Chain A
Amino acid sequence: MSKLPIIRVQHVVKSFGKITAVNDVTFGVWGGEIFAFLGPNGAGKTTTIKMLTTLLRPTSGSLELDGLDPATDQTEVRKRFGVVFQDPSLDSDLTAWENMDIHGVLYHVPRQVRRERSETLLRMFELWERRDDLVKTFSGGMKRRLEIARGLLHTPKVLFLDEPTLGLDPQSRNQMWTHVRNLNQAERVTVFLTTHYMDEADRVADRIAVIDHGRIVAMGSSGELKQQTGTDSLEAAFLALTGTTIRDESATATDQMRQVSRVWRR
């Protein structure tokens, strides 16, 4: 882990009309660490990731990834990160190999490197034997692993994982985190993940930022958070920090589509 921040976020605010999704957030992520955003639904985790990955512009404040501004240096910033979104972004009518290959072309990875690295990554994520099968025949866990493998193809400096274990069974989740840990070691890639599962943040992250109502309420290692709140588990620390009220958000158009997608199981 280097002591240089690869991500620097300063006083960032993002509002959608009257709703402020991210409210004056400041934090840094060190190069090579695994950093987790932990927070309840609607806390502003995904919005922050979208701003860092050039998909949204902040209302105010500044963001930096590897010294570049995602709002103005879009193309350069995009070369430097890989991302696995909350919702699937694979082409399920293509094979695993084809998905990798298209990604390589989009990121200008030379053909030879593309082939070698695709093979290495598919083997690493235990998908090599299934490389010529259509993605729609894959299980949820396999799809997620393929997305992570794809996100690493262009050797990014930062890998964003937005709720990567959502909807996976405990076995797949366990396996997924083992993979993430290993690749963080092997590739020296910085991992920025969001989750609302305490045990996951506890297990894999070097540092955790607890975010709620668009604000960071605490930041530190799992041990530090427990110490701060005088609790013995991260779950207790989390509830102490964010309260026990259940968050009732109103459903958006996207939520409705997500519901339909679950019914159709694409």
Chain B
Amino acid sequence: MSVVYILWLREVKKYLRSRVQIVASLGSPLMYLGVLGFGLGPVFQRAGEGKYLQFMAPGVIGMTVLFTAMFSGIAMLWDRQFGFLKETLVAPVPRLLIMIGRTLGGATVAVLQGTLIFVVTLIAGFRPVSLLAVPLAFLVIGLIAVIFSALATAIGSSLKEMQGFQMVMNFLVMPTFFLSGAIYPLEGLPRVLGALTRVDPLTYGVDGVRGLLTGRTHFGVALDVAVLLGVGVLFVVFGAWRFSKIEA
């Protein structure tokens, strides 16, 4: 237990110390929120869908969590060769505990970053319908964070070189974001796009957060949470398996 705790603590400490990185990583969510949020607002309003900021704020929170969690996994690739990870690989501790500590740490950092963006959306004018639902929404955000931290661990354990990073960004992270319904409603989509959004785990995450914070949901919060739990278990097992296979 102390092993999981100290590895978790390490990730959180590093995050809190990296002020520059915290500010820098707010860049792209702020851009989406500012440019898309206010830029598409009038069109959204005219289409009779209400305030766009209200719609997309949960999507931007989801995006922040996705990006932060995935980056921590990519960092692992570097860490494996030139960093602390190698130290943990020869420690007399089951790899599973190390993987859990790292993943929970990465997920916590992602949630903290998501919280920061949540506060920013509040300043921008986002209003949750009920304050009571906010803690519940954060449970869903936590699930999103665990899912993508575990996936990132699996990828970080499998990649061999830094070039793979660009591939992951272009073919995994960006599609996951764009297909999630973070920035557009899931109703009335062309069939292919509709099907793709349904295999994207982030779709259920964003829908769940949106449902809890704004009352607008496509699948229903119960289904969202069920899917997230299922995918979460799957990805954690997959990540742990890949992590156990690392040969230095």
Contacts and interface: CB of A to CB of B under 8 A. Distances in A.
Nearest to A150: B87
Contact of A94 (B14, B89, B91): B14
Interface stretch (B2-10, B41-49, B104-112, B116-124): B2-10
A94 B84 CA distance: 10
A88 B80 CA distance: 10
B123 to A, nearest CB: 29
B13 A105 contact: no
A254 B14 CA distance: 25
B86 interface: yes
Interface residues of B, number: 29
A253 B160 contact: yes
A88 B3 contact: no
B82 A266 contact: yes
B89 A93 contact: no
Given A53-B90, A253-B161, A105 B81 contact: no
B92 A89 contact: no
B18 A93 contact: yes
Contacts of A101: 6
A106 interface: yes
Nearest to A256: B161
A88 B90 contact: no
B247 interface: yes
B90 A87 contact: no
A264 to B, nearest CB: 10
Interface string B127-167: 00000000000000000000000000000000011100000
Q: Looking at B2, B90, B248, which has the most chain A CB atoms within 10 Å of its CB?
A: B90
B83 A88 contact: yes
A197 interface: no
A83 B90 contact: yes
B82 A54 contact: no
Given A106-B3, A107-B91, A261 B14 contact: no
Contacts of A261: 82
A107 B86 CA distance: 14
Interface in B1-33: 2-3, 6-7, 10, 13-14, 17-18
Given A88-B83, A91-B10, A93-B14, A260 B88 contact: no
Interface in A56-93: 56, 74-76, 78-79, 83, 85, 87-93
A101 B85 CA distance: 15
B43 to A, nearest CB: 44
Nearest to B7: A102
Contacts of A50: 248
With most chain A CB atoms within 10 A of its CB, the pick from B3, B88, B248 is B248
Interface residues of A, number: 37
Contacts of B241: none
A87 B2 contact: no
Most chain B CB atoms below 10 A, which of A50, A91, A260: A91
A91 B82 contact: no
A101 B13 CA distance: 14
A260 B162 CA distance: 10
Interface string A237-266: 000000000000000011011101100001
A91 B18 CA distance: 14
Nearest to A93: B14
Nearest to B5: A105
B93 interface: yes
A11 interface: no
B178 interface: no
A253 B163 CA distance: 9
Interface of A: 50, 53-56, 74-76, 78-79, 83, 85, 87-94, 98, 101-103, 105-108, 150, 253-254, 256-258, 260-261, 266
17 contacts: A55-B247, A56-B247, A56-B248, A78-B91, A88-B82, A88-B83, A93-B14, A94-B14, A102-B6, A105-B3, A105-B6, A106-B6, A107-B91, A107-B92, A150-B87, A253-B161, A261-B82
Which 10 residue pairs of A and B lie closest in terms of their CB atoms, listed nearest first?
A253-B161, A78-B92, A106-B91, A91-B84, A89-B86, A55-B248, A89-B87, A105-B6, A79-B92, A93-B14
